[in-house]
Structure 1
Amino acid sequence: MHVAGNAAPCVVVLGADGPLRAARADRLAAHYGVPRRAAADIPAAPSPPPAGYVVDAAPGLLARFAAAGGPPPALACADLMLYLRTVAGGVGAAHRAIRYYEARGVLIGFRPDVPDEELYVVIEAALRERRGPGPGTRP
């Protein structure tokens, strides 16, 4: 397991294909040693887990959060939103939620067949960007 600056990532894996999305979320959570949670279980949580997480989310669920006034903290505070692009065209009702993550600069689209190793690089870069340089590093 390799994590930038010993910080655990807070990642949301978004996509319409449930089995592909869940498998990717499972592998990322196992790699980083953080819990994997389904987005449907998140609304009851008042704040994100402090030690990182990987959330598995369908675009439709994000659309419901957007309609209800915004995503819960565990989704709103994510370091990175990985959007599994398996369907041609837009994401329909989830468009506003996707725009929210784009505006925050934390959304990245990826093909379903991209190797996990490429995502590790992206996640660790996002951690460095969001949390700043670690001790003993030069800016």
Structure 2
Amino acid sequence: MVATAPRVVVIGAQEGVRLARAARLAGHYGLPRIAAVDVLAGRQPLPVDGYVIDGAPRLLDRVAGVGGLLPALAFADIVVHLRDAGSGEGQEATRVLGYYEARGVLVGFRTETPVSNIIVAVEAALRGRTAADPPRWP
């Protein structure tokens, strides 16, 4: 079985920490790192060969509105939620996290977690997926 490149969304944490983690994941897999705002504003199409998107949960919820998340972000293989110690999530962020949790693709890490641990979670999400699997987005 040949696994295809991952579709990862990194959310939460302070912008600098989130950007650094997303960039390291993208570098590890040789994928583009895309800011969620660029995807949501239509400035950047999603590559079919995998991607790492980073954004704040409240941004994703605010743009999606009551109808749910936009299709581009709804079909991630795994959503990495970086949690800052002592910081709470707002109501919008909680709704976004609940959506990903219900889909079974949310995994939470503290911001100081080594990237190698996050890579293990991404690999587990990809296990069993092959290049022959049909894409899960429209």
Q: Aligning the two structures, in what range does the TM-score lie when normalised by the shorter sequence? A: 0.7 to 0.9
Q: Which runs of 5+ in 1 are unaligned?
A: 135-139
TM-score normalised by the chain length of structure 2: 0.83
Aligned to 1:121: 120
Q: After superposition, give the CA deviation of every residue in 1:31-54 in whole Å (9 maximum; x if it has no partner).
A: 101110000011217974210000
Identical amino acids, percent of aligned pairs: 51
Residue type matched to 1:50 in 2? V
TM-score calculated relative to the size of structure 1 = 0.82
1: CA distance between counterparts of 2:67 and 2:3?
33
Q: Distance in 2 between matches of 1:31 and 1:46?
A: 21
SS at match of 1:5: coil
Tell me by how many angstroms 1:89 deviates.
Answer: 5.3
2:20 corresponding residue in structure 1: 23
- Higher RCO, 1 or 2 (CA under 8 Å, sep at least 6)? 2
The structural deviation recorded for 1:7 is 1.1
Alignment partner for residue 70 of structure 2, among 66, 69, 72?
72
Give 1:102's aligned residue: 101
1:91 Cα deviation from its structure 2 partner: 1.3
The aligned counterpart of 1:49 is 47
Asked if 1 retains the 8 angstrom alpha-carbon contact of 2:3 and 2:127, the reply is no
Residue aligned with 2:47, SS: coil
Choose which of 34, 57, 60 in structure 1 pairs with 2:58: 60
AA partner of residue 60 (structure 1): R
* Residues 22-31 or 37-46, more deviating: 37-46
* Stretch moving more, 59-68 or 103-112: 59-68
What is the one-letter code of the residue matched to 1:30?
G
SS at match of 2:112: coil
Per-residue CA deviations over 1:59-95 (Å, capped at 9, x if unaligned) read 2112213415222222101000000000535411211
SS at match of 1:11: strand
The residue type equivalent to 1:85 in the other structure is R
Q: Whole-Å Cα distance in 1 between the matches of residues 15 and 44 of structure 2? A: 25
The residue matched to 1:96 in structure 2 has which SS?
helix
Q: Which runs of 5+ in 2 are unaligned?
A: 133-138
Name the aligned partner's letter for residue 34 of structure 1.
Answer: L
Query: What is the CA–CA distance in structure 1 between the aligned matches of 2:87 and 2:3, rounded to whole Å?
Result: 38
Number of residues paired by the alignment? 130
> Residue 33 of structure 2: which of 36, 47, 51 is its match?
36
**Residue 22 to residue 89, structure 1, CA distance change in 2 (3 Å):** closer
